[in-house]
Amino acid sequence: MAGRNAFYAQSGGVTAVINASACGVLQTARRHSGEIGKVYAGRNGILGALTEDLIDTSVEPETAVAALKHTPGAAFGSCRYKLGSIQEHRGQYERLIEVFRAHDIGFFFYNGGGDSQDTAHKVSQLGAELGYPIICVGIPKTMDNDLPITDCSPGFGSVAKYVATSLREAALDLTAMSRTSTKVFTMELMGRHAGWTTAAAALAGEREGDAPHILLLPEVAFDEGRFLAKVEDALARYDQCVIAVSEGVKGPDGEFLSATGLKDSFGHAQLGGVALRTSDLIAGKLG
């Protein structure tokens, strides 16, 4: 006899390997049919549970499941939707439990970043409070590579390769034109609090003097004087300067250099434009 059913959903920005994680969940569940019955996938993340828009993956053949490893995008759709606190949004959490109960779901697999892991934890807490036994598992997925107790998050490897390749290509273009044209190129990269993505840009260089020449990480406060001195040094040595900068770089006061004053759908400060700001600084101070 099959065990209780499972609910799987994908959340947040889509990485190149999010569907490979989905494949792992589905194939593993099928190998343990005595403990896990059907796996329902939520359409567009947690919204699929709230609206009871569930995809029965048990009707899919093994070949279709295996093909997920090579399928781009998010096979079941993703979302940027953060559940609030249980106290303030209790109705939503009770709705989740209601849907889970209706479909005999005893396992909740949520594939996402930090906010998604937080959601899985909250659902687990509410299940215990309401006397509904459910095992909640957060599946790591974030190219930022900043999830606690996770050595390497699926998604980081793909972005590291992409960043290093893109920066190297841009640097070669700069080299071709730097004698008579642009001498400084800045690439802005994702990373609100973690500098893994920007640090991966260092993979573009193979020899002394190769780009990038400067990395600006969110873990290190931006020092204008030191930064400009390094730019001047790179120009003197190589006649060009390639910079990789995290969107989350902060000034000495701890404020984001690129804060727009807006909030994203998760309530985080909307960032963007730090490359333009540092480039304007170089143009204004160094001509």
What is the reported pLDDT for 264? 64
151 catalytically annotated = no
User: What SS3 state is found at 262?
Assistant: strand
The answer on pLDDT for 240 being more than 80 is yes
The model's confidence at residue 268, banded by pLDDT at 50, 70 and 90, is: low
The answer on pLDDT for 263 being more than 80 is no
Quote the CA–CA distance of 166 and 270 in Å, as a whole number. Answer: 24
Q: Are residues 82 and 173 both part of a single domain? A: no
**Which residue range(s) make up the domain with 34?**
4-140
Query: Does residue 221 sit within a domain?
Result: yes
As a whole number of Å, the end-to-end CA separation of the chain is: 75
Catalytic residue among 144, 223, 253, 280: 144
Residue 169 vs residue 1, higher pLDDT: 169
Q: pLDDT tens digits for 10-51?
A: 998 888 899 999 999 999 999 999 999 999 999 999 999 999
Q: Are residues 36 and 92 both part of a single domain? A: yes
Q: Are residues 128 and 238 both part of a single domain? A: no
Q: Are 31 and 69 in contact (CB under 8 A)?
A: no
Domain count, the chain: 2
The residue among 79, 112, 140 that closes a domain is 140
Quote the CA–CA distance of 112 and 22 in Å, as a whole number. Answer: 11
Arithmetic mean of pLDDT over the chain: 92
Q: Which of 34, 35, 44, 33 is nearest to 8 (CA)?
A: 44
CA–chain centroid gap for 245, Å, is: 17
The model's confidence at residue 249, banded by pLDDT at 50, 70 and 90, is: very high
Q: Are 145 and 152 in contact (CB under 8 A)?
A: yes
State if pTM tops 0.75. Answer: yes
Query: Does residue 248 sit within a domain?
Result: yes
